[in-house]
């Protein structure tokens, strides 16, 4: 007696087949950042960027997928040959129970030994620190983009804002000029 097939064959042009190929969540698929530190470029000169994995618990990953991560006051620290991320706020998971994670616990950064040595030597320079700029997913894993940063003075911030405003006005003037010439 021949076995019956347990699966059904779906035609290629069926709408259900299209839904299956589209990712269900832009954050989880890596199309959109899970968290972004907008204040970092305002308060610091971002000199170099590094990618690091983050050692997380299951409820933390699920909360990041829900968009409950905040990088605003967080910073990186290298201690005893290991890198850590401090003050990263990940809100509690909505469907978590009493075993939910602590929101601002210290999390370990996953870097190669050589990268840790390189970062240690660069952060020992006066005024330099490690600032996380964004959290994102790559191949289902949470990654953190760390930037080697040097603090800005108030006058640096004003100068950056002036330059940004001048660029904005120049782009607007070029756009107006193109519109007049095209008519």
Domain assignments of the chain as residue spans, ordered by start: 24-152, 153-183
Predicted confidence at residue 62, as pLDDT, reads: 86
- CA distances to 8, 44, 58, 117 from 94, in Å: 36, 34, 13, 38
Question: Which three-class secondary structure state does DSSP give residue 146?
Answer: strand
Residue-level pLDDT, tens digit, the chain, 183 residues: 565 655 556 556 655 545 555 556 777 666 678 888 888 887 888 899 999 999 988 888 888 888 888 888 898 999 998 999 999 888 888 887 877 888 888 999 999 999 999 999 988 888 889 999 999 988 888 899 999 988 878 787 888 889 889 999 999 999 998 888 755
- CATH number listed for the domain at residues 24-152: 2.40.280.10
Copy the structure tokens of residue 62. 């699920």
138 within 8 A of 43, measured Cβ to Cβ = no
- CA distances to 20, 30, 37, 65, 90 from 24, in Å: 9, 11, 25, 11, 22
Predicted confidence at residue 19, as pLDDT, reads: 52
Nearest CA-CA partner of 90 in 132, 62, 130, 51: 62
Copy the structure tokens of residue 80. 């005893």
Q: Please state the separation of Cα 17 from the chain's center in Å.
A: 31
Distance CA 152, CA 44 (A): 5
81 phi/psi in degrees, rounded to 5: 75, 15
Predicted confidence at residue 166, as pLDDT, reads: 92
**Whole-model pTM over 0.85:** no
Predicted confidence at residue 155, as pLDDT, reads: 80
Predicted confidence at residue 183, as pLDDT, reads: 56
Q: Tell me the average pLDDT of the chain.
A: 83
Predicted confidence at residue 132, as pLDDT, reads: 93
Distance CA 158, CA 167 (A): 14
């Amino acid at each position: 007696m021949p076995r019956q097939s347990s699966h059904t064959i779906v035609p290629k042009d069926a709408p259900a087949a299209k839904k299956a190929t589209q990712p269900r969540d832009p954050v989880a698929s890596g199309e959109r950042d899970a968290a972004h530190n907008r204040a970092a470029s305002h308060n610091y000169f971002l000199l170099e960027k590094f990618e690091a994995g983050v050692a997380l618990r299951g409820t933390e990953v699920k909360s990041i997928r829900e968009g409950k991560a905040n990088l605003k006051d967080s910073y990186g620290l290298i201690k005893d040959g290991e890198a850590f991320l401090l003050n990263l706020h990940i809100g509690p998971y909505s469907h978590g129970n009493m075993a939910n994670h602590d929101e601002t616990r210290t999390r370990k950064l996953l870097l190669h030994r050589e990268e840790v040595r390189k970062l240690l030597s660069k952060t020992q320079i006066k005024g330099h620190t490690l600032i996380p700029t964004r959290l994102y997913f790559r191949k289902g894993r949470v990654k953190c983009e760390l930037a080697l940063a040097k603090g800005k003075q108030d006058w640096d911030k004003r100068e950056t804002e002036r330059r940004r405003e001048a660029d904005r006005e120049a782009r607007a003037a070029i756009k107006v000029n193109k519109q007049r010439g095209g008519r």
